[in-house]
Amino acid sequence: MDILLQVLVTGIATGGVYGLIALGFVLIYKATSILNLATGAFMTLGAFVCLSVMTGAGAPFWAALLATLVFAVVLGLVIERVILRQLIGEPIISVIMVTIGLAFILQGLAHMIWSPDYRSFPEIFPPEPLDLGFAVVPSGLLWGFIFALIGTFIFILIFKFSRTGVAMRATANDQQAALSMGISVRRIFALSWCFGAIAAVIGGVVIGNISGISIYLGDIGLKVLAVIILGGLDSIGGAILGGFIIGILENLAGIYIDPLVGGGAKGVAPFFILVLVIMVRPYGLFGKEIIERV
């Protein structure tokens, strides 16, 4: 039972980080109907920028994080205005393919600037784990979960209660109606990409602090893609719950199934569950079912 509780706690902490990164996908998709497959590359660049500011400029972590957030806003604006705004009205598959190409370009850029060498963050947080009595949460996961919790809470507040959030929800629901109410859809698209980039780079910094960084850090974006499909592409709550589900399942598989099959189950389990859920609910657990009349 003690092992099970430890696995569940670790899975929840890991899932919180997944949920934050998944919000980057969801915020962009809800407003623009674009699935940004370059989110993993955003994570990688954010982690490297934060580390470079800390080690190169000797800045404290909080200043480096602030600089990274500014970088994320600029990155989101540039990509939306220079690349994606030109694709408005084009088939959605074309836009998705552009984000895939963008992911490879950004990964190549990271390779040229920072090389493929593995790097570790300097010690940022106190190394002492949190002892809950029935389970222990490692320092990296603990602070990662705290960051994810704060970031998720801020995004939810913005999306649910601010004027910007109301405009984003209106745009996500009906772009033509939003335009008729005086909402600048292009501005909302730009904000969505900024928010998505911010969520991604925070996730990259958190993951980098836990496990180190390399140009392949963004590969975790594939796992997070499973999170948002499981929870529902357009559901903020689904992204968070999907993160917890995937985090718990992969940790359970790593402890109980990996020893039986010689390894590999931890990486496969989330996608196995994803396939089962999608077979029953094609739009995910909380996704909006689209009914087309013909």
Between CA 10 and CA 54 the distance in angstroms is: 28
In this model, does residue 107 exceed pLDDT 80?
Answer: yes
Contact by Cβ (8 Å): 50, 208? yes
Phi-psi region of 211 (alpha: psi -120 to 50; beta: other; left: phi over 0): alpha
Q: What is the pLDDT, as a whole number, of residue 291?
A: 54
Is residue 59 within 8 A of residue 67, CB to CB? The reply is: yes
Q: Is 146 helix (H, G, I), strand (E, B) or coil?
A: helix
pLDDT of residue 63: 92
Q: What's the rounded mean pLDDT across residues 52-80?
A: 91
Helix (H) or strand (E) holding 137: strand 136-137
Provide the 8-state DSSP code for 127: -
Q: How confident is the model at residue 290 (pLDDT cuts 50, 70, 90)?
A: low
> 276 pLDDT band (50/70/90 cuts)?
confident
Residue 11: pLDDT over 80: yes
% the chain with pLDDT above 70: 97
Specify the pTM: 0.87
Q: Among residues of the chain, what percentage have pLDDT more than 90? A: 12
Q: What is the pLDDT of residue 288?
A: 67
Whether 133 has a pLDDT exceeding 80, the answer reads no
SS3 1: coil
Residue type, 108: G
Parallel/antiparallel/unpaired status of strands 130-131 and 136-137: antiparallel
User: What pLDDT sits at residue 268?
Assistant: 83
Place of tokens 């997944």: 18
Report the candidate in 45, 107, 55 with the shortest Cα–Cα distance to residue 75: 45
pLDDT digits (tens, 9 = 90+) for 225-247: 888 888 887 788 888 888 888 88
Q: Which of 140, 144, 155, 245 is nearest to 199 (CA)?
A: 155
Q: In angstroms, rounded to a whole number, what is the distance separating the alpha carbons of residues 169 and 178?
A: 9
Q: What pLDDT does residue 72 have?
A: 94
Mean pLDDT, range 194-214, rounded to an integer: 87
Q: How much is the average pLDDT of 276-280? A: 82
Q: Name the token pair of 15.
A: 């899932």
Higher pLDDT residue, 173 or 80?
80
pLDDT at 53: 92
pLDDT score recorded for residue 49: 93
Query: What gap in Å lies between CA 149 and CA 156, rounded to an integer?
Result: 11
- How many other CB atoms are there within 10 angstroms of residue 294's CB atom? 2
Paired tokens of 119 = 């790097």
Query: What tens digit of pLDDT does each residue of 144-200 get?
Result: 888 888 888 888 888 788 888 888 878 777 777 878 888 888 888 888 889 889 988
Report the chain's mean pLDDT, rounded to a whole number.
Answer: 83
For the chain, the farthest-separated pair of C-alpha atoms sits apart, in whole angstroms, at 62
Residue partners of 294: CB distance under 8 A and separation at least 6: none
CA 46, CA 200: separation in Å to the nearest integer?
8
Tell me what pLDDT residue 237 has. 81
CA distance 171 to 173: 5
Angstrom distances, CA of residue 74 to CA of 48, 146, 167, 192, 265: 16, 25, 21, 12, 39
Reply yes or no on whether the pLDDT at 210 is more than 60: yes
Query: Which residues are within 8 A (CB) of 104 and not within 5 positions of it... i.e. 6 or more apart?
Result: 41
**pLDDT value at residue 73:** 93
Residue 104, pLDDT above cutoff 60 = yes
Q: Match 């499909």 to its residue by tokens.
A: 229
Segment 20-46 shows an average pLDDT of 85
